């Protein structure tokens, strides 16, 4: 199981209702999108970061490992705003693009922390079945759950194939590495196709009516948590508008 999913299943907020965590995380996300980049993104980012490192119990090392990949895409998406095309030279630095690049990077980073706040505290197994109550078609929820389950099987398969290739010195140089990676991709594709076909046949033989019903633990919304969420969002909006 990936580290983020393991943390969501064992974290301090594991037994809280997903609706509470969704109201907090997506409320902050709406603030990050709607408020001005400065200082709205900074205030939202600080609030989400404090929640991740504090009540959510993520930890600095896990936080760095979780955000370093998405932050690369944020930087790559912001860098083109520093340049402009045309004029005496084909590509040149645009002094006016620095502000736009910083605004984009700040807003995207704040939104990333808000999404991570929900992902690191809410297991997918708790969130998916409740989507049906929000009007999502059951077939879409079932497909998402099956794909999520299949991902873990594929990750185990990739680890097993890679360990076997490493035991046969399949990564000793560039040539053998490319050959091993190509073989790994082919083996994983065949395994994924075979598992998906067997899963489809199994569901058909069971006579599934079109939805996979699961039993959810009884959970109630905490009025105190929702009230605290409302106060936090109001404070974020107020501070952002005052400092703007």
Predicted confidence pLDDT, tens digits, the chain (244 residues): 567 777 788 888 888 888 899 999 999 999 999 988 888 899 999 999 999 998 888 888 888 888 888 899 998 888 888 887 766 777 777 777 888 888 889 999 999 999 999 988 888 878 887 887 787 787 777 778 778 878 877 888 888 888 888 888 878 888 888 888 888 888 888 888 888 788 777 777 766 555 566 666 777 888 899 999 999 999 999 998 888 7
pLDDT, residue 148, reads 80
Q: What distance in Å separates the CA atoms of residue 16 and residue 231, rounded to the nearest whole number?
A: 19
**Cβ burial, residue 97 (10 Å; 0-12/13-18/19+):** middle
**Within 79-173, where are the H helices?**
97-119, 124-131, 138-167
Structure tokens at 83: 């340049």
The helix/strand/coil state of 14 is coil
pLDDT, residue 31, reads 92
Structure tokens at 8: 């969501």
Q: Which residues contact 217 (CB under 8 A, 6 or more apart)?
A: 15
DSSP state of 39: I
pLDDT, residue 94, reads 75
pLDDT, residue 228, reads 92
Tell me if 133 sits within 8 A of 211, measured CB to CB.
no
Cross-strand pairs, 92 = 84
């Amino acid at each position: 199981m990936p580290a983020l999913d393991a943390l969501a299943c064992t974290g301090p907020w594991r037994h809280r209702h997903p609706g509470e965590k969704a109201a907090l995380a997506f409320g902050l996300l709406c603030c990050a999108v709607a408020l001005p980049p400065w200082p709205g993104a900074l205030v939202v980012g600080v609030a989400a970061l404090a929640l991740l490192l504090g009540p959510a119990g993520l930890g600095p090392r896990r936080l760095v490992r979780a955000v370093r990949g998405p932050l690369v895409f944020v930087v790559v998406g912001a860098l083109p705003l520093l340049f402009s095309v045309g004029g005496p030279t084909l590509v040149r630095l645009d002094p006016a693009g620095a502000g736009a690049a910083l605004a984009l990077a700040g807003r995207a980073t704040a939104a990333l922390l808000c999404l991570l706040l929900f992902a690191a505290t809410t297991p997918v197994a708790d969130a998916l079945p409740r989507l049906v109550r929000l009007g999502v078609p059951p077939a879409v929820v079932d497909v998402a759950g099956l794909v999520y389950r299949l991902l873990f099987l594929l990750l185990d398969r990739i680890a097993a194939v890679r360990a076997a290739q490493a035991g046969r010195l399949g990564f000793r140089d560039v040539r053998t590495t490319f050959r091993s990676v190509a073989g790994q991709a082919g083996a994983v594709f065949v395994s994924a196709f075979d598992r998906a076909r067997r899963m489809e046949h199994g569901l058909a033989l069971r006579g599934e009516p079109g939805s996979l019903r699961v039993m959810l633990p009884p959970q109630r919304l905490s009025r105190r948590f929702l009230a605290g969420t409302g106060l936090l969002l109001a404070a974020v909006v107020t501070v952002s508008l005052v400092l703007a």
